[in-house]
Chains A and B, each alone.
Chain A
Amino acid sequence: MNPLRKNCLALGACFALAFLLSGRLYSQGLDPSVIAAPPHDSWPTYHGDYSGRRHSDLTEITPQNVSSLSLAWAFQTGQTATIKSSPLLVNGILYFTLPDYVWAVDARTGHEVWHYQYGPNNGLHLGQRGVGMYKDSIFTLTPDAHLVSLDARTGKVRWNVVVGDIDKGYWTSMAPLVIRNHVIVGVGGDLDNLTGYMRSVDPDTGATQWQWDSTPPAGTPNMTTGGMIWLSGTYDPELNLMYTGTGNPTPVLNGKTRPGDDLYTCSIVALNPDTGKLAWAFQVSPHDTHDWDATEVPVIVDASFDGQPRKLLMQASRNGYFFVLDRTNGKNLLTTPFGPVNWASGIDKDGRPIPDPDKEPAPDGRLIAPDEGGLTNFRSPSFDPKTGLFIVSARESYSIYFAKPADGAYGWAGADYDLWGKGIIKAIDYQNGKIRWTHDIGQGSSAGILTTDSGLAFTGDDHGNVLALDTSNGKTLWHAGTGGTISISPTTYELDHHQYVLTAAGGVLFAWRLPEGH
């Protein structure tokens, strides 16, 4: 067939599909099949789509007009907790969370439609990353490790199931990931020696479909526990593989009771979402003793590498290394630091950093780069296809790590102290790991990154400023002072022919757009 005709037909099909789907969205809630190719007026999952690129093809806001970006509305939760969730947008309604709360807010006006408050509980209220949606159900994980299904129209509870035992030390904070009729959730819990796991739950009934354990059962001699699931993974519908990063081993700073690699902690694991079977795993930090989870977003990119088109997976990891893998089989293509690191003696033949035994926590302390918070953390990176830049919110840092026999072999099992840090947005060339540009943001860290096709990168600094940067060189084109701690990754969508960018600071959600008539 003539390629041009093929493209026209494809385009026509897309329009038809979008038309059909928009009607279906409104009457049935969210059809999970759109998550792979979301319409412009949606942000149907934590990452925006299944790829984790956090890159939008919306172009109304450009480097030329972004200096006029202004506040469309703000929603004040009235809570002192800091918003850490990426709001979903479906059918003109935003759904986002704080620990114990879910809000539904009109995306046009910023006014509340409903809110849900979970009952008092003793779960850890550290943070909440957001909800998942399936048809007309909203799913939220609670601090005490329950999964609750709410009617998206009203916020009323449909069902509530336990996914982790809080008395053992589990808690939950991640945004559930919906793939077809699977609601994928995972647990947290670093203060005890517990097995980390992912579960797939039936969206209609809450019944467990499968569970995948990161590590052997607690108490297995010479084996590790841990491997918690702190963040939603990404998904390739063609390969039918879900990619998730696992957390660090426990006991955290003492590796003596868990000799060897400690599989599958600090690993990127590829699971079949229908069965939970492991297809492959790549370990980012073998035998970690620094609390460096590998749960950062495993970003799916189809691009050329070494001159060949490849199906890639990229992660800028907490331990300070940037990894590029072949996502069909987990084979390593590139491993390189993206900031100061001093804890590895080299890279092994499989592309894994080799931990230096002299840099394990010691009774008299060891100077370690990065600190326990890592060279990056949960803040979402973004991949911009035009520039080939993997942009990440990084933080260079140094710390001292201690562990001695009196610290035991349970939970933290040691002590670490941050000395100094500096927040820097870094733009990494994915083909070779070179840093093309950097942008200082202060002592600490701030927002994750969102890039758009018009060449903008939205993020924040450590002083409460939201920033719009030029993706090609990192220069600031617009900013606004929000007066709060920024701990989110920006999202964007189109409504009524206008592009909105959402950020949050403290307990307030801000919607930015160009003024009318622009």
Chain B
Amino acid sequence: MLGAFASRLQATLRVTLVLLVATSFVSAQAAKPSTRKAAAPAPPPSAAAERGKSLFARDCAFCHGRDAAGGETGPDLTRSRLVVRDVEGDKIRAVVQNGRPEKGMPPFPKLPPAQVNDLIAFIRHQIFEANAKPGGRRGVDVKDLQTGNADAGKVYFNGPGRCASCHSPAGDLAGIATRYVGLELEKRMLYPVDAKAKVTLTTASGEKVSGTLAYQDEFHIALTTADGWYRSWPVHLVKFEIDDPAHAHVEQFEKYSDSDIHNLMAYLQTLK
């Protein structure tokens, strides 16, 4: 009987959680200024969330902040798409166990499952806490990023920004503001983290190979070919050229004024 009750409660909680976070996520996504009512106060933390709080302080707070809303190098977990959508907790569990080495998060594989569950409970509680704050929540909202002028942004796009040399509003950037919003859009605008570099390479025997860059240090280079194979070589045995589309973004960093960035952001947000 207790088992059936518990699983029904769990199902109800799950639905409530999804609805609540989906609502907060969706309203954060709205481009128009927020006119919603003040959010309901957060429910009191569960025992699991209380235990999770001290665990979080010990292992996570330095990077993700005491309140899980972002800190020294770690993102705001209360706005993280992965966290918000992770109904079963398995996605969060995987990140905790494996870390994100490419982003500098260490793994915590030895945390007992019960403690990971407590951490998940704490993080979920913090989502409520963050959304319940009167006078706006901390961190970066979509509405914070609306200080630019779209017309000026379009001029910059086609002019000194040099964006038009690689991008077009009707081509690769069509619908960009539907795919990304707010801080995520601005970060990718400034540096496209997912852009892949292409390598064209000639081996000592004259074979020409090309693909996406998979690994490079001063001793070796590796690419993934179009049919999915990973191949690597010592650099002294090959000649290669790398075409990195993100490089133009790096060159632009020292040229932007902050107004340019805000105007460009305003323009990109029109490309829905």
Chain A positions within 8 Å of B, measured between CB atoms, are 80-82, 121-126, 143, 190-191, 291, 340, 342, 358, 362-367, 369, 372-373, 398, 400, 402, 404-408, 411-412, 415, 417-420, 440, 442, 444, 461, 463, 465, 476, 479, 485
Contacts and interface: CB of A to CB of B under 8 A. Distances in A.
Nearest to A397: B253
Interface stretch (B6-14, B33-41, B136-144, B170-178): B136-144
Contacts of A479: 219
A465 B183 contact: no
B88 interface: no
B138 A415 contact: yes
Given A190-B72, A365-B140, A367-B258, A126 B187 contact: no
B139 A123 contact: no
Interface string B129-165: 0000101111110001111000000000000000000
A80 B108 contact: yes
- Measured as residues with beta carbon below 8 angstroms from the partner, the interface class of chain B is 35 or more
B187 A465 contact: no
B191 A365 contact: no
A408 B138 contact: yes
Interface string B50-82: 000010011101100110001111011000000
Contact of A415 (B62, B101, B139, B258): B139
B147 A364 contact: yes
B42 interface: no
Candidate in A124, A291, A366 with the most chain B CB atoms within 10 angstroms:
A124
B240 interface: no
A220 B171 CA distance: 57
A373 B71 CA distance: 12
Contacts of B65: 191, 411-412
Given A342-B254, A369-B253, A411-B66, 19 more contacts: A80-B106, A80-B110, A124-B57, A125-B58, A191-B66, A191-B71, A365-B262, A366-B258, A372-B73, A398-B190, A404-B138, A404-B144, A405-B135, A412-B65, A412-B72, A415-B70, A415-B138, A419-B190, A479-B219
Contact of B217 (A126, A418, A465): A465
B52 to A, nearest CB: 12
A442 B104 CA distance: 14
B187 A419 contact: yes
Interface string B236-271: 000000000000011001101010011000000000
Contacts of A369: 253-254
A465 B219 contact: yes
Q: What is the interface of chain B mostly: helix, strand, loop, or mixed?
A: loop
A444 B104 contact: yes
Candidate in B58, B71, B109, B146 with the most chain A CB atoms within 10 angstroms:
B58
A406 B136 contact: yes
Given A412-B70, A442-B217, A417 B187 contact: yes
B194 interface: no
B104 A365 contact: no
B59 to A, nearest CB: 6
Nearest to A476: B218
21 contacts: A122-B58, A125-B59, A126-B62, A191-B62, A362-B258, A365-B140, A365-B261, A365-B262, A367-B261, A372-B73, A400-B190, A402-B139, A406-B135, A411-B65, A412-B70, A417-B75, A417-B183, A420-B191, A420-B253, A476-B218, A479-B219
Report the 10 A-B pairs with minimum CB-CB distance, sorted nearest first: A406-B136, A364-B147, A463-B217, A407-B138, A419-B191, A420-B191, A398-B253, A122-B58, A415-B70, A122-B54
Interface in B98-145: 101, 104, 106-110, 133, 135-140, 144-145
A272 B65 CA distance: 36
A124 B253 contact: no
Given A126-B62, A369-B253, A404-B144, A418 B110 contact: no
A364 B138 contact: no
A373 B249 CA distance: 20
Contacts of B75: 417
Contacts of B250: 420
